[in-house]
Structure 1
Amino acid sequence: MLKPAQTTANTEANAVFRGAAMPWFFLLPSLLILAVFIYLPALQTLRLAAFKANLILGTERFVGLQNVTELLLSPAYRQVALQTLIFMVLTVTLGLLFSLGLAWLASRPIRGSKYYRLLLIYPYALSPAIAGTLWLFMFNPEIGVVNQLLGSLFSIKPRWLDDPILAFGLVVVAAIWKGLAYNIVFYLASIQNLPGDVMEAAEIDGATPAQVFWRVAFPLLTPITFFLVFTNIISALFDSFALTDILTRGGPYFHNAGITTFLVYQLYQDGFVNFKSGVAAAQAALMLVLVAFITFMQFKVGERRVHYGG
Structure 2
Amino acid sequence: MTDTTLSPGPARRWLRRLGGADAPPAKRVQFDRPLTPWLFLAPQLAVVVIFFYWPSVQAVTSSFYLEDPFGFGASFVGLDNYRDTLAAREYRGIALFTAGFAAVVTALALGLGLLLAVKADKVIRGAGAYKTALISVYAIAPPVAALIGMMLFDMHVGPFTQAAAFFGYDLKVGINYWDTAFAMVLIAVWKQIPYNFIFFLSGLQSVPVSVREAALIDARSGWRRFWDVTLPLLAPTAFFLLIINVTYALFDTFGIIDVIVKDKPANNPMTLVYKVYLDGFKGNDIGGSSAQSVILMVLVAALTVVQFRFLERRVHYG
Listed as ranges, the gaps of 5+ residues in structure 2 are: 1-7
2:193 to 180, 185, 204: 180
User: Matches of 2:175 and 2:265 in 1, distance apart?
Assistant: 6
Native 8 Å contact 2:176 2:268 kept in 1: no
Correspondences of 1:120-269 after superposition (within 5 Å): 120-151=134-165, 153-154=166-167, 157-249=170-262, 253=266, 258-269=267-278
Q: CA deviation at 1:269?
A: 0.6
Task: Tell me the TM-score normalized by structure 2.
Answer: 0.89
Aligned to 2:123: 109
Deviations for 1:173-222, whole angstroms, at most 9, x for unmatched residues?
11111100111011111111112211211111233100111111001001
Which residue is equivalent to 2:304?
A: 295
CA distance in 1, matches of 2:287, 2:196: 36
- State the 1:155 CA deviation: 6.2
Shift of 1:8: 8.2
Matched residues in 2 for 1:228 and 1:72: separation?
31
What's the offset of the Cα at 1:115?
1.1
Offset of residue 10 of structure 1 = 4.6
Asked whether 1:50 is paired with 2:59, we answer no
In structure 2, do the counterparts of structure 1 residues 137 and 88 end up closer, same or farther at CA, with 3 Å as the change threshold? same
Shift of 1:156: 5.3
Give distance in 2, aligned partners of 1:54 and 1:123.
43
Q: Percent identity?
A: 33
The answer to whether the aligner puts 1:12 opposite 2:12 as a matched pair is no
* Per-residue CA distance 1:142-165 (angstroms, 9 max, x = gap): 1212234455x5465422332222
Letter in 2 for 1:201: A
Shift of 1:12: 1.0
**Is 1:72 matched up with 2:86?**
yes
Native 8 Å contact 1:88 1:237 kept in 2: yes
Work out the CA distance in 2 between the residues paired with 1:155 and 1:293. Answer: 44
8 Å Cα contact 2:142/2:255 also seen in 1: yes
Q: Is the Cα contact below 8 Å between 1:128 and 1:178 reproduced in 2? A: yes
- The amino acid that maps onto 1:237 is L
TM-score, reference length from structure 1: 0.91
Match of 1:272 in 2: 281
1:90 equivalent to 2:99? Answer no
CA contact (8 A) 1:250 1:262 kept: no
Counterpart of 1:12, as a letter, is K
In structure 2, how many angstroms separate the alpha carbons of the residues matched to 1:81 and 1:223? 29
Distance 1:250 1:207 in 2: 56
Unaligned runs of 5+ in 1: none
Higher alpha-carbon deviation: 109-118 or 219-228? 109-118
Give 3-state SS (helix, strand or coil) of 1:52's partner.
strand
Amino acid at match of 1:128: P
Shift of 1:113: 1.8
Change (3 A) 1:11 1:243: closer
Change (3 A) 1:250 1:223: farther
Q: For this pair of structures, how many residues does the alignment match?
A: 303
Residue 59 of structure 1: how far off its partner (Å): 2.4
User: How far apart are residue 96 of structure 1 and its match?
Assistant: 0.5
**Whole-Å Cα distance in 1 between the matches of residues 274 and 71 of structure 2?**
23
Letter paired with 2:70: I
